[in-house]
Structure 1
């Protein structure tokens, strides 16, 4: 059974209830003071607590989609070296959660894929949302703007489908004529089991190369996506927001726009990331976005950053980022009165962020 399946959660909850019942029933029989009975009582208490914590943990994980599979929980990934052949492997299709979603010309399609990077020599799973216009008659040769959409870390691409509802929001906004239809490429902000934070790690994962160069090339080889540099944007929250701003700042030839929802502005070096720079101080400084804005030329990319007056820790660096962006780059911002580092906050920001993104992209 899958880590996030309802059946598995129900089984663990049932085991918790049975363990609690067994404890109540057996406790009087283990009341005498022999060491075997003491061990029996201790075992019952430990067993109940293990099942209880497992139930709570599974419920929280299922609600927030922190880990999507047993492999994610164990820190294993399915990435493999890019091989000759298709740059995009399609593993399955599903209908978006929208009215009429079963008909591609009405609701579009979500494809589960593996993207293979030519330059980075790596691969990563993703979901590709194709809007209904992609399948409608008369659009057979039409190319569409595209956006890479990133989760935070840890997180799963399923967050972007379920918790943050990107396909449904994009479908609704396009249907209301607030934005143009777009291809969305939804995935995690890393190409390995560690938090690479869109950095080319010496001797390790070439995460910047994958997100900065490989993804648009791979997707454009399989779908009718527009030209990098004019038709592509990148969006993310938290760590994914840092990656989005980093890619738009350092790869304006690829991304015309970058959106950071509650973004960090420099990589966080901790047990999840490991040593990202291996003593390369120049690359470490370059990866600090505020340093980069102050010390390197700025391209023509546009940026959207979000924060909150209360509830966010990134308010001050967000204001510093806004002040540091100079011509020919452009910057916009959303500042909520109250917010937090949560799905609730990002779901308030995603609709205007998609509309803003759409307005910065041109379709071929």
Structure 2
């Protein structure tokens, strides 16, 4: 049973309940001062607490999608399987392979022409050779006969770190939200390409082309749109692609829109930060390359590079978000850098969590829809 399995969660909760009941029931018998009684009390208390903490941890992981598997949790997942010797046009069908299909959790979701469809895919970058899984949401219109020749705007949707692509579906409800907004006419139908920015797990590459390492920025700027556009009816760039993410994914979204306006006409950062950190999860991202380091700092980039023709959206909360003041300063900086455009969503309160981002996603998708072309 996998880490994210509901059976594992139910089993953990059941064990916690049974151990709690057992502790209460057996406590009178263990009230003596013998070494056996003391050992029994310690054992029951320890087992109960472990079971309770395991249940809470599994619940949190289900809600926020921190880890995808037991190997991911215990640090056994590594980046050695990222580079795959595949080339587009091989007999395996190219850089994007559909490996599974699931329904969208909306009324009529079992029928693609009514609810759309979520396809689980494997993508291999043509130039970077980075391989990563993803989910692709196709709106109902994609399967309807009257739209058979139509192309659709596409949005790259990124998690935070470590994050899982599945959390974008189950936790943040991107497909359901996009379906509802398009159905009620509040946004145009769009294709969503959902994945995590950690394409070299467990390393957090911060969407940087690491010298001598994973070329993550190039993957998202070039390989990913190319692979998706070759497989699906996606609008031709420029103007057909947007990008959105939360936390680390939000930083990546803003950076990619700034660095690659020819690819991404709009980028939205939910609770984003504005400079790539260097810590135990990232390792040495820059290897002494000053240009790579400077361009990973969005403050530096806006002050020293020509302002790109792209649209940015940032979000934060007056209470609960540590990056609120930075977001206000970033907004003011971008306002002075035409032709770059900036918009914001500022909540009165909200923490750095899924509940906050779910409140921001509908308006964010509407904003992206208004800035992307379907041609």
Partners of 1:233 and 1:222 lie apart in 2 by 18
Determine whether 1:185 maps to 2:193: yes
Sort the Cα spacing of 1:24 and 1:180 in 2 relative to 1 into closer, same or farther, 3 A.
Answer: closer
Aligned 8 A contact 1:152 1:238 in 2: yes
Counterpart in the other structure of 1:345:
356
For residue 138 of structure 1, give the secondary structure of its aligned residue in structure 2.
helix
Could you tell me how far 1:356 is from its partner in structure 2? 1.1
Counterpart in the other structure of 1:333:
344
Sort the Cα spacing of 1:322 and 1:35 in 2 relative to 1 into closer, same or farther, 3 A.
Answer: same
Determine whether 1:320 maps to 2:322: no
Aligned 8 A contact 2:187 2:370 in 1: yes
Indicate which of 128, 134, 143 corresponds to 1:135: 143
* 1:93-112 correspondence to structure 2 within 5 Å: 93-112=101-120
Counterpart in the other structure of 1:160:
168
Sort the Cα spacing of 1:38 and 1:339 in 2 relative to 1 into closer, same or farther, 3 A.
Answer: closer
Determine whether 1:363 maps to 2:374: yes
Could you tell me how far 1:27 is from its partner in structure 2? 5.2
Could you tell me how far 1:28 is from its partner in structure 2? 5.6
Aligned 8 A contact 2:162 2:198 in 1: no
Could you tell me how far 1:59 is from its partner in structure 2? 1.8
Partners of 1:176 and 1:92 lie apart in 2 by 28
Counterpart in the other structure of 2:263:
254
Counterpart in the other structure of 1:297:
306
Determine whether 1:281 maps to 2:283: no
Indicate which of 79, 82, 95 corresponds to 1:80: 82
Could you tell me how far 1:275 is from its partner in structure 2? 2.0
Partners of 1:45 and 1:344 lie apart in 2 by 33
* 1:200-239 correspondence to structure 2 within 5 Å: 200-239=209-248
Partners of 1:30 and 1:144 lie apart in 2 by 68
> How many pairs align?
364
Determine whether 1:244 maps to 2:253: yes
Determine whether 1:195 maps to 2:204: yes
Normalising by structure 2, report the TM-score: 0.91
Could you tell me how far 1:50 is from its partner in structure 2? 1.7
Partners of 2:26 and 2:318 lie apart in 1 by 55
Determine whether 1:50 maps to 2:59: no
Q: Which runs of 5+ in 2 are unaligned?
A: none
Aligned 8 A contact 1:216 1:228 in 2: no
Give a deviation string over 1:250-304, Cα, whole Å, max 9, x none.
Answer: 1112111100111111112222222212222321121110110000112211111
Give a deviation string over 1:218-273, Cα, whole Å, max 9, x none.
Answer: 11111111223220010011111000000000111211110011111111222222
Partners of 1:21 and 1:358 lie apart in 2 by 53
For residue 147 of structure 2, give the secondary structure of its aligned residue in structure 1.
coil
Could you tell me how far 1:314 is from its partner in structure 2? 1.8
